[in-house]
Structure 1
């Protein structure tokens, strides 16, 4: 019992402290903080297997159950934010709301709490697998995101094992926590290393832009990201104009008002984001010239210039810094 309580306590304490770090306003992607916090509540729920909750703490189980429905969407939000891709919050929250309502209705109709817990656990696993399937195309080329999703898949697997295998002793209740704690530790460390400060800046500026320009800017983002126009080294403003069916002046104005940047820098940020991943993953197997070309730059000089403008360091210094952090 002492071992189990110690493991849970360490996991919850570390998780909560690190989730607050990610929820700090200066962090670019707060969804990871919420993702970790939701798992902390899930860990807290397992205290009841060692020390039964009294009425004062029974609310923790309710909160943990509710937050369990948000874990998969939060992973989705984090992944899309990390890749700087657009997504709709409302659709996913509506899906979660439907699941919560179904949980409440089934809970009231079910005669046995164990049966209710088993069925809802299966639904949560199914929900998680759906989101992993949706994210597969986005994460398969990114080692960092692939690792997160793989660890999350192992957690889903631990839920199935916990719900289907007979529980022989208290340590059996640690099956799920043991899958969560390493995931939190890995995600926390790697999220700090790979966080991208560009995302927050553009979101903040976008809120102050006129509604019409914001809509144009969102359309620009969607086209650029879905077609990966930035990988074309010869892309010009007129090409964006033809794709969107709006004037070049409107595009320039929308980008400037929503990001405070010109079109060239806006496109280069996407290229540099691609280059960052290649530098981290393939730096030993590929030349800087090749990375520049694969990222959409016409030559190494323009790549170096854009990289230093955005990061204030050279690509070589960037690799050295990442190597030191690892």
Structure 2
């Protein structure tokens, strides 16, 4: 079959390369949450591969080793939802991974349990399998029959669309409006991609597929890459997690300007005079009670007037406190003791916040200050 290339395939391929470049930028960016950036980098690499796979399919490419591509499209399909969920969870909650997060690896483990043996077969063996149509000897279709695997993938995408939305609704109050815009844009794009995927499979089921319909998946991937590209070039701070979009005030917020000024002053007093941040059990709900405001309005006050989320706001005070303790020559506390004395309740959060603000570790900071004193 002759290879054919048209303007659409060229466009899709160009966006695949663009996605690869963006993924590389996320991998290389040193500032900000490098783990979150790496997760999103993997996500973009899979989008890039998925688009290249599609281009090879649409162009009827029959080059050397093309059989190695067989069934590999399932890898990105089952990985998109889990990767995006873990990335967004990291952005919204800024929390370290736990063993519970390992369950999101189940889909990719499932795919490799089905196709793993086939993936690593020599090329000539794969050619013979394709010619004889003996895939069942090397592919483990149990417990889901071959004809239902794509439907399972579709259900998986829908599940993660719902899970990501639930996570966003629960945690959006803890982040700034620009971060919410970024996360919401990603969720909407993934929801759109899932809808296109469902429509694509429905057209196949109803035997209404045409060459123009066949490009539906490509359109979805291209749009997603385009959105990420826009954010990357218009707001490059997304790589460091500190997006700074100019954003509108909360509508119908119920807070008058005089009340905002009063609450802002009260908040500063609580943090600077009462040092409320030293309580390592401090939460947004607790702070809301101290201010006699709703959780939403407290978050709004911090987001709009300090341009950070609740956790960053509190941790900034805690890091300043830790710095003072590290600089105090009479202080005999070790670093582990300083962590809790400054209000942190775990070592990981402290080290991440400290390095983000100072660029060095607490131990190095203490050594440098002792030398200069």
Give the TM-score normalised by the residue count of structure 2: 0.51
Q: CA, structure 1 residues 121+144, in 2 after alignment: closer, same or farther (shift >3 Å)?
A: same
- 1:26 corresponds, among 30, 36, 45, to 30
Q: CA, structure 1 residues 172+112, in 2 after alignment: closer, same or farther (shift >3 Å)?
A: farther
User: Partners of 1:30 and 1:133 in 2: how far apart?
Assistant: 23
The number of residues matched between the two structures is 232
**Counterpart in 2 of 1:175?**
216
Query: Which piece of structure 1 moves more, 147-156 or 78-87?
Result: 78-87
Deviation at 1:83, TM superposition (A): 3.8
The answer as to 2:24 corresponding to 1:15 is: no
Query: Which piece of structure 1 moves more, 84-93 or 176-185?
Result: 84-93
Q: Structure 1: give runs of 5+ residues left out of the alignment.
A: 200-230, 245-272, 279-290, 303-309, 312-326
Q: Contact between 2:79 and 2:108, CA under 8 Å: does it hold in 1?
A: no
Q: CA, structure 1 residues 24+196, in 2 after alignment: closer, same or farther (shift >3 Å)?
A: closer
User: Partners of 1:151 and 1:22 in 2: how far apart?
Assistant: 19
1:297-317 superposed Cα distances (whole Å, 9 cap, x missing partner): x9xxx9xxxxxxx79xxxxxx
**Counterpart in 1 of 2:240?**
197
Report matched runs for 1:200-215 at 5 Å. Answer: none
Q: CA, structure 1 residues 275+197, in 2 after alignment: closer, same or farther (shift >3 Å)?
A: farther
**Counterpart in 1 of 2:228?**
187
Report matched runs for 1:211-250 at 5 Å. Answer: 232-233=267-268, 234-235=270-271, 236-237=274-275, 240-241=278-279, 243=281
User: Partners of 1:237 and 1:62 in 2: how far apart?
Assistant: 58
1:169-207 superposed Cα distances (whole Å, 9 cap, x missing partner): 2221211110111211211331451426379xxxxxxxx
**Counterpart in 2 of 1:80?**
89
Query: Which piece of structure 1 moves more, 107-116 or 66-75?
Result: 107-116
**Counterpart in 2 of 1:283?**
none
Q: CA, structure 1 residues 276+188, in 2 after alignment: closer, same or farther (shift >3 Å)?
A: farther
Q: Contact between 1:155 and 1:176, CA under 8 Å: does it hold in 2?
A: yes
Q: Structure 2: give runs of 5+ residues left out of the alignment.
A: 115-138, 243-265, 283-298, 318-356, 359-373
The answer as to 2:97 corresponding to 1:97 is: no
Structure holding more helix per residue: 1
Matched position secondary structure for 2:66 = coil
The answer as to 2:59 corresponding to 1:59 is: no
1:99-149 superposed Cα distances (whole Å, 9 cap, x missing partner): 632784595137974432233233333234323332333348522221221
Q: CA, structure 1 residues 182+55, in 2 after alignment: closer, same or farther (shift >3 Å)?
A: same
- 1:158 corresponds, among 182, 185, 196, to 196
Deviation at 1:295, TM superposition (A): 7.1
User: Partners of 2:307 and 2:20 in 1: how far apart?
Assistant: 42
Q: Contact between 1:162 and 1:175, CA under 8 Å: does it hold in 2?
A: yes
Matched position secondary structure for 1:69 = helix
User: Partners of 2:277 and 2:153 in 1: how far apart?
Assistant: 50
Structure number, greater radius of gyration: 2
User: Partners of 1:114 and 1:242 in 2: how far apart?
Assistant: 53
Q: Contact between 1:23 and 1:30, CA under 8 Å: does it hold in 2?
A: yes
**Counterpart in 2 of 1:133?**
166
Deviation at 1:39, TM superposition (A): 1.0
1:267-288 superposed Cα distances (whole Å, 9 cap, x missing partner): xxxxxx989964xxxxxxxxxx
User: Partners of 1:130 and 1:83 in 2: how far apart?
Assistant: 14
Q: CA, structure 1 residues 294+75, in 2 after alignment: closer, same or farther (shift >3 Å)?
A: closer
User: Partners of 1:9 and 1:293 in 2: how far apart?
Assistant: 39
- 1:116 corresponds, among 99, 124, 149, to 149
Q: CA, structure 1 residues 65+35, in 2 after alignment: closer, same or farther (shift >3 Å)?
A: same
Deviation at 1:73, TM superposition (A): 2.6
Give the TM-score normalised by the residue count of structure 1: 0.57
